[in-house]
């Protein structure tokens, strides 16, 4: 049926559908009907305590920024993007915005899980940084060095032609990756940027930063909606994802199958997430704000189903495996177990955000989900992971292709 109903298929690209199907999964969990997880809502209050403790420690004044890539460019209080911005001397807001979009898009696409053993040695301080922060810093250094530019005289850009030609060897060198410093899915990351370059050229775009001009042009009254931004991101990037579902000619990106979801509907059994695309959209908001453009309905986007947020709920007992032997197994991203885990994460992030706002006396406008994530659930998930596991890794082993987690 879905093949004959493109409108129903396109609805899977909307954050409202991501949220609705995630909450459908949560209701199945509360009813004890999921295949792999039980849900313990009575433990959500204690989980909220952990998140609040983290928020108060990190942001005692409650002045919390968005959960976006820009946070990862700050090392020990040194904002490396701000420094690059000052040194680059962009001639106008458009030039600065396009460069910021080039960096954010490439950096987010490179951000899937690094693995527990990889570290990036910061050339400026000698510090070794792993995981998302290390990936971010490495990508910023590669951007500053002109690795993604087709013009040696103009390094601070990412051109479609340069992305299309980038190889795994060059990317591995930029990440300082090798046998003694293994980084997961280097070739997969390079291939993703190759496809990004190809897709941009197919659409007549010279660089990812062209999206900045598109959004600025759509802000006729000085405002653009976050949902529109996500739609454009999904449309622009839809063709780059490997081995994913395409139905009725619509590439569905980060969408997976689960047998219990939406029975009887044209898109029965399909669960969308669009995690990287939504995080990218969060990260594209601030450059617009720097240029004086407002972004509305940011809370229309959803929480991010990645292993820090998901690990928070699993480590705190809000969700529990039905079969503890699953902790010792490696799970494909497409498996019903991982789909359940990620959908429960999206729904429970909404629930915990409501609790956090109530405890702090803040409205959704004052404390949107993007700030709860940053303040917040992602940081609390990481802290608890370090307390529970020596390497601070996720509570479940995921077989990653470098494009989801």
Is the N-terminal amide bond of 376 cis, ω within 30° of 0?
A: yes
Instruction: Say what the pLDDT of residue 402 is.
Output: 59
pTM score, two decimals? 0.92
Instruction: Say what the pLDDT of residue 243 is.
Output: 65
In whole angstroms, give the CA distance from residue 368 to residue 299.
Answer: 6
- φ, ψ at 39 (rounded to 5°): -115, 135
- φ, ψ at 212 (rounded to 5°): -60, -45
Other beta carbons within 10 Å of 198: 15
Contact 157, 209 (CB under 8 A): yes
- φ, ψ at 121 (rounded to 5°): -90, 110
Region for residue 228 given its phi and psi (left: phi exceeds 0; alpha: psi -120 to 50; beta: otherwise): alpha
Query: Which residues are registered as beta bridge partners of 255?
Result: 272
Contact partners, residue 270, CB within 8 Å, separation at least 6: 2, 12, 21, 245, 252, 255, 256, 257, 258, 261, 262
* Number of separate helices (H) and strands (E) present in the chain: 16, 14
The helix (run of H) or strand (run of E) holding residue 154 is none
In whole angstroms, give the CA distance from residue 241 to residue 189.
Answer: 11
In whole angstroms, give the CA distance from residue 158 to residue 150.
Answer: 8
Instruction: Say what the pLDDT of residue 1 is.
Output: 61
Per-position pLDDT tens, the chain of length 405 = 677 788 999 999 999 999 999 999 999 999 999 999 999 999 999 999 999 999 999 999 999 999 999 999 999 899 999 999 999 989 899 999 999 999 999 999 998 778 889 999 999 999 999 988 999 999 999 999 999 999 999 999 999 999 999 999 999 999 999 999 999 889 989 999 999 999 999 999 999 999 999 999 998 889 999 999 999 999 898 888 876 788 998 889 899 999 999 999 999 999 999 998 999 999 999 999 999 999 999 999 999 998 999 999 999 999 999 999 999 999 999 999 999 999 999 999 999 999 999 999 999 989 999 999 999 999 999 999 999 998 888 999 998 765 665
Contact partners, residue 111, CB within 8 Å, separation at least 6: 69, 132, 135, 136, 139, 276, 279
Query: Which residues are registered as beta bridge partners of 181?
Result: 178
Query: Which residues are registered as beta bridge partners of 320?
Result: 38
Query: Which residues are registered as beta bridge partners of 397?
Result: 330
Q: 264-271: long-range contacts (C-beta < 8 A, 24 or more apart)? A: 265/8, 266/1, 266/2, 266/5, 266/8, 266/9, 267/2, 267/5, 267/8, 267/9, 267/11, 267/12, 270/2, 270/12, 270/21, 270/245, 271/21, 271/22, 271/25, 271/339, 271/342, 271/343
Q: Which two tokens stand for residue 34?
A: 């999921």
- φ, ψ at 388 (rounded to 5°): -95, -25
In whole angstroms, give the CA distance from residue 370 to residue 64.
Answer: 9
Beta strands 37-39 and 319-321, pairing class: antiparallel
Contact 394, 311 (CB under 8 A): yes
Other beta carbons within 10 Å of 186: 21
Q: Which two tokens stand for residue 274?
A: 């669009």
Alpha helix (H) ranges present in 145-225? Answer: 160-165, 168-174, 186-202, 210-218
Q: Which of 372, 312, 346, 362 is nearest to 52 (CA)?
A: 372
Contact 280, 108 (CB under 8 A): yes
């Amino acid at each position: 049926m879905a093949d004959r109903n493109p409108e129903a298929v396109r609805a899977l690209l909307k954050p409202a559908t991501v949220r609705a199907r995630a909450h459908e999964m949560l209701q199945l969990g509360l009813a004890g009907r999921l295949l792999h997880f039980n849900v313990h809502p009575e433990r959500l209050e204690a989980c909220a305590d952990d998140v609040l403790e983290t928020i108060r420690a990190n942001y005692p004044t409650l002045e919390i920024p968005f959960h976006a890539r820009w946070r990862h460019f700050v090392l020990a209080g040194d904002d490396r993007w701000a420094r690059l911005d000052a040194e680059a001397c962009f001639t106008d807001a458009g030039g600065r915005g396009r460069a910021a979009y080039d960096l954010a898009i490439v950096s987010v696409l490179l951000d899937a899980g690094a693995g527990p053993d990889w570290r990036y040695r910061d050339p400026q301080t000698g510090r070794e940084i792993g995981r998302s922060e290390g990936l971010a810093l490495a990508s910023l250094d590669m951007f500053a060095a002109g690795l993604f530019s087709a013009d040696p005289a103009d390094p601070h850009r990412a051109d479609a032609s340069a992305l299309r030609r980038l190889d795994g060897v060059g990317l591995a060198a930029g990440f300082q990756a090798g046998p003694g410093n293994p980084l997961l899915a280097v070739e997969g990351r390079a291939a993703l940027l190759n496809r990004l370059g190809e897709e941009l050229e197919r659409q007549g775009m010279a660089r990812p930063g062209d999206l900045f001009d598109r959004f600025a042009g759509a802000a006729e009254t000085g405002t653009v909606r976050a949902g529109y931004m996500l739609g454009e991101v999904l449309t622009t990037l839809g063709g780059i994802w490997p081995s994913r579902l395409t139905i009725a000619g619509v590439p569905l990106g980060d969408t997976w199958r689960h047998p219990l979801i939406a029975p009887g509907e044209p898109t029965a059994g399909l669960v969308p997430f669009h995690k990287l695309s939504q995080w990218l959209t969060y990260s594209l908001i601030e450059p617009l704000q720097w240029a004086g453009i407002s972004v509305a309905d940011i809370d229309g986007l959803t929480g991010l189903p990645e292993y820090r947020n998901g690990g928070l709920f699993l480590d705190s007992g809000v969700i529990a495996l039905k079969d503890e032997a699953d902790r010792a197994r490696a799970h494909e991203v497409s498996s019903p177990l991982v789909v359940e885990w990620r959908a429960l994460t999206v729904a429970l992030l909404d629930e915990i955000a409501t609790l956090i706002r109530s405890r702090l006396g803040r409205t959704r406008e004052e404390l949107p989900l993007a700030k709860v994530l940053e303040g917040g659930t992602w940081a609390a998930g990481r802290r608890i992971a370090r307390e529970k596991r020596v390497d601070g890794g996720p509570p479940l082993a995921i077989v990653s292709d470098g494009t989801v987690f």
